[in-house]
């Protein structure tokens, strides 16, 4: 992240520039087209899937030349070395996309060491904040983005890496709201902060395909529990 939490400091600005450069180096649409065979869509900010209509300006534009320039300006003209771990959790193309990201980063001068570990081995390092590197990690869609944001607070059991006192304040305040309008306003505040500081990136949202055949009862009707679930996810 940064050795200085002061957002007006040179160290913080350099950290944001490096993270933004790493995101601009990834051609997300190609991942969707090639690895998902088109069954998905590009996403740049994590946890926002299903809520795109509320904010449409969060999008990293693929620009490797600009990414190289930004790394140079941030003090890494020759790049650096990082560890990248695919967190295997059953999502389509999760390992392949992680390797593709490594290739994109190597094209701008970053040396990537792929570390293959079972998720059960990786998870304790994330909980104890001992992991030093980047993971490709899939999550499910959130009924409310603030649910996912709970992993970004300093008091969270689980950690994806990025923490900041201001982010803590925004998230804790939003979690206490009960009015839907206040919750949504708080969520936008939280994720605007995440976007502006390039703190939690996403690659894509994949489609969920469900097979259907002639043996399905044509007069099937939802049970009470299924009806409740349907209304709940709407």
Among residues 65, 75, 83, 104, the alpha carbon closest in space to that of 15 is found at: 75
Range from 55-64, 128-137, 203-212 carrying the lowest mean pLDDT: 203-212
pLDDT in tens, 123-166: 999 899 889 999 988 888 888 999 999 989 999 998 888 889 99
Mean per-residue pLDDT for 47-58?
Answer: 84
Instruction: Please tell me the distance from the alpha carbon of residue 36 to that of residue 205, in angstroms, as a whole number.
Output: 10
Cα–Cα nearest to 17, from 104, 76, 81: 76
Distance (Å, rounded) from C-alpha 69 to C-alpha 234?
44
Q: Which of 6, 51, 2, 8 is nearest to 202 (CA)?
A: 51
Name the pLDDT band for 209 (thresholds 50, 70, 90): confident
d(CA 15, CA 19): 6
Backbone angles phi, psi at 61, to 5 degrees: -90, 130
Global pTM reads 0.86
Is a pLDDT exceeding 50 seen at residue 231?
no
Give the separation between CA 152 and CA 158, rounded to whole angstroms: 8
pLDDT at 160: 82
Give ∠ CA 33-39-40 in degrees, rounded to 5.
85
| DSSP letter for each residue of 38-90 | T-EEE--BTT-TT-GGG-----PPP-HHHHHHHHHHTT-TT--EEEEEEE-SS
Annotate 2-45 with DSSP letters as a single string.
Answer: -S---TTSHHHHHHHHHHHHHHHT--HHHIIIIISTT-EEE--B
Domains of the chain with bracketed CATH: 10-139+200-207 (3.10.105.10)
Average the pLDDT over 169-185 and give the result: 96
Q: What is the DSSP string of 168-221?
A: HHHHHHHHT--SHHHHHHHHHHHHHHHHHTT-SB--EEE-------TTS-TT--
């Amino acid at each position: 992240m940064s050795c200085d939490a002061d957002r007006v400091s040179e160290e913080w600005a350099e950290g944001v520039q490096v993270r933004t450069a790493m995101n601009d180096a990834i051609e997300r649409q190609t991942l969707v087209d090639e690895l998902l065979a088109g069954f998905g869509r590009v996403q740049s900010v994590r946890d926002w899937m299903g809520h795109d209509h509320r904010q449409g300006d969060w999008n990293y534009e693929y620009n490797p030349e600009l990414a190289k320039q930004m790394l140079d300006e941030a003090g890494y003209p020759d790049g650096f070395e990082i560890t990248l771990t695919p967190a295997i959790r059953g999502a389509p193309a999760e390992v392949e996309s992680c390797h593709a990201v490594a290739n994109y980063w190597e094209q701008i001068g970053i040396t990537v060491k792929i570390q293959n570990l079972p998720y059960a081995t990786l998870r304790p390092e994330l909980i104890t904040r001992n992991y030093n590197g980047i993971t490709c990690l899939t999550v499910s869609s959130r009924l409310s983005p603030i649910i996912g944001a709970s992993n970004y607070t300093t008091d969270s059991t689980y950690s994806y890496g990025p923490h900041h006192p201001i982010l803590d304040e925004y998230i804790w305040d939003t979690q206490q709201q009960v009015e839907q309008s206040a919750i949504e306003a708080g969520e936008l505040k939280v994720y605007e902060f995440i976007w502006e500081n390039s703190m939690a990136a996403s690659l894509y949202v994949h489609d969920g395909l469900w097979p259907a055949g002639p043996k399905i009862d044509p007069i099937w009707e939802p049970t009470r529990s299924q009806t409740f679930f349907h209304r709940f996810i709407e």
